[in-house]
Structure 1
Amino acid sequence: MTSLMIEQFTCRQDNFGVILHDPLTGETASIDAPDGTVITNELRQRNWRLTDLLITHHHPDHVEGIAALAEAYSPKVIGPAAEAGKISGLTQTVGDGDTFKFAGRVVKVITTPGHTAGHICFYIADEGLLFAGDTLFALGCGRLFEGSPEDMFGSLARLGAFPDETRVYCGHEYTQSNARFAVTVDPENDELGKRMEDINDLRAKGLPTLPTTIGFEKRTNPFMRCGDPSIRQHIGMEAASDVEVFAELRHRKDHF
């Protein structure tokens, strides 16, 4: 089986568009629909026809392009059952543990509440790919608009259980600002310090910082390192629970 082709590009101000294409079958999927015009232009440049549209959550910057893409291509539009009432144009709804096929590959649905109550991620084991939407970011996580710290902590733990080599595509280019915060709570992490240098170099060249990997995040993302003694000591929470540490980190990031 030939590997999927993956194209990542900027939409709106800091959203990422991601298109998957199987050169054997011609099947093509977009992860979310931040901007129908930009995604259509990317498809036309490559002479690809959209067959699937995979939606992670209901926020406008992830769904506003659905109508235009549906009109142009009539794709399957697959999204979270728990948010079906907030997303127009879904043709199939899915929940935790559901699977469906894309280009002969099994796509598994993981419910990851926190950023929104019904947020889902898509995992393709055959390709080692995770599409994390606004749950997990490089060196960060989504704001808790509809969920609790317990919700998001549990969601990140679920994603962290995937193999370390899993490539992770996220909904936004937030890595540089996330890195600036991360070094304030994990200053003794040498790998994080080196990663920040690399991120600054990439952004200075106008290059994306994604994809990342699960292993990289577990070693450098403070929100996935709530049990780390150095972080706990640095923020004065040595005896706190992991969820309490997570909540404090999220509070600090919200006001950073």
Structure 2
Amino acid sequence: MVRFKKWWHLALVLLLAFSLVTPSASAAVLQTVSQEAQSADFDVQLSVKGLCGTGSCHEILEGTTVNIQEGTTALELVEQVLDAEGIPYVVVSTQYGPYLQSIDGLAAGSLNGWDGWVYTVNGYSPNFGLAEYQLQADDVVHIYYTTWAKLETASVIAVNDNNPSVTVNLTGDLFTTPNGSNLANWTINTGTTALTAQSITINANQQAVITFAGQAQAGTITITASANALFGSSASEPLEVKVQ
């Protein structure tokens, strides 16, 4: 009787071992491991701000904590949360990959320049798109609309012109009032032109007229609007105006 129990026990052990190496058993084990891997999840945070300037921002989405699965990208997080909140957005395909073109009706290039949507993770700006960034536990993602001020002009100053003026057009940002009309908020280097900047008049939120005193001599005038003159609180790229 004892010998029979030993053989029966050995048969059960062999049967169990055989079942573990069969394809169906292996598949079951792999499926269990796969399910466990897929179930890994963690919390991240997302906030979205629109155009910022003069000390205030258009708050579209305050910091929201979301539980996501491992492998989720920053773009997938944005789409998931904005969908859940009913906030409209547009993602377009480009040669560089998916691009977040618009949120809550504010589209990239609305200020006729290189203004648009950018992002940071934990205060750092990755050098690749939202769709390429895979989130890690406790990441803090911030989406915001950035400005890029650039000045342009079609005005021409000729040598010997008296008290000339230059009409400056702005793209990628907006002039503020009254700060934009304050000469102290501009850097204007007249070089060898013998001119002196006298006044600035804001005609529209993207146009200003700069008036000079004196008789123009050959040279180059360099014009920069400081952060205080612009809504986006970042200085413009310098504009050069030739006198010739």
In the superposition, the TM-score normalised over structure 2's length comes to 0.23
Greater C-alpha Rg: 2
Q: Which structure has the highest strand share of the two? A: 2
Q: Give the alignment's TM-score, normalised by structure 1.
A: 0.22
Instruction: Name the structure with the higher helix share.
Output: 1
